Amino acid sequence: MSTAIFFDQFGEADVLRVGDEDVPAPGSGEVLVANRAIGVNPADAKVLAGAFGRDRPLPGVLGFEAAGVVEAVGPDVDGLAVGDEVLWHGTGAQRARAVVPAANVLAKPANVPFEQAAVLPVAAATAFSALVQAGVSDGDTVLVHGASGGVGSAAVQIARALGARVVGTASEANHDYLRTLGAEPVVYGDGLVEAVRAVSPDSPVTAVVDLVGTPETVAQTTELLEDASRAVTIVSSDASRAAGIADKVDQKGALAEVLALAEGERLHLEIAESLPLDRAADAVRLVQQGHTRGKVVLTA
């Protein structure tokens, strides 16, 4: 038997329950991973609320990313062995042991801790995809709306690794943090356009990654950016579509790219909270609040 976090109905975090499950042997093309750390994301709260549809079978298990140790290998799997430290992406990650398609598994570098590896598939790969889609490269000046969260802090570091200058919006309390990541911080809200231009008078914004997606950030983006094709959002809306801002599209190989940056010590995501698996409900509440700097993880 193994521990997992179940929900028998859609709703808030209080519907989550700790339970036991039988774990099958991995089948063809699968591996069994004993999870050590599991990333928790806003999308988990949305799944729980039924925002992505209520036609999925119940009971369900939340979670899209984790890192751990391979415990068993099914037939027709190459390149993975029992004892390998790995990270993986998929569904149903909030469990102590998970059967995972081998195609969704990557080897974890020895110098990347489990908690760091577990939060790369969603936040960091999302940030990388958005930046690549916006065509960010050496010499660009990138504005990141919402730069101090998990995706935002990853976007800052990845953009810097790509050779870009970064201006990031955040509350004033997070400005020193953004400076440590290599961004030039500005306070979001009224006066943002003028503040960005003041910070970067000789290097106008050439690309935007919008992680907030309000009508205000859409208007600010279009005012600052001459070419709307170089703006990408992860929060699609009627306003962003009308402005010609593209929705983020996952880029092939994004996870491998950010893993290489983490291995090279060019990408590090702050872990805001690390909670045991049986406190999954508390973890979901934290990300649902939307004000956490960095990432929330569960440890199994």
CATH number of the domain bearing residue 10: 3.90.180.10
Residue 138 CB burial class (10 angstroms; 0-12, 13-18, ≥19):
exposed
**Containing structural domain, residue 131:** 123-247
CATH number of the domain bearing residue 219: 3.40.50.720
Answer whether 88's CB lies under 8 Å from 64's CB.
Answer: no
160 and 192 within one domain: yes
C-alpha distances in angstroms, 177 versus 180, 187, 287? 5, 13, 19
Answer whether 65's CB lies under 8 Å from 106's CB.
Answer: no
CB atoms within 10 A of CB 247: 14
Residue 22 lies in a domain: yes
Give the per-residue pLDDT at 228.
Answer: 86
Average pLDDT of the chain? 96
102 and 129 within one domain: no
Q: Does residue 194 register a pLDDT over 90?
A: yes
Give the per-residue pLDDT at 59.
Answer: 97
Residue 176 lies in a domain: yes
What global pTM score does this model have? 0.94
92 and 15 within one domain: yes
**Total domain count for the chain?**
2
Answer whether 221's CB lies under 8 Å from 243's CB.
Answer: yes
291 and 232 within one domain: no
Give the per-residue pLDDT at 135.
Answer: 97
Residue 257 confidence class, pLDDT cut points 50, 70, 90:
very high
Residue 259 lies in a domain: no
Residue 135 lies in a domain: yes
58 and 32 within one domain: yes
Q: Does residue 200 register a pLDDT over 90?
A: no
Strands 105-107 and 231-233: unpaired
Query: What are 247's two structure tokens?
Result: 């929705």
237 and 133 within one domain: yes
Query: What are 218's two structure tokens?
Result: 């859409």
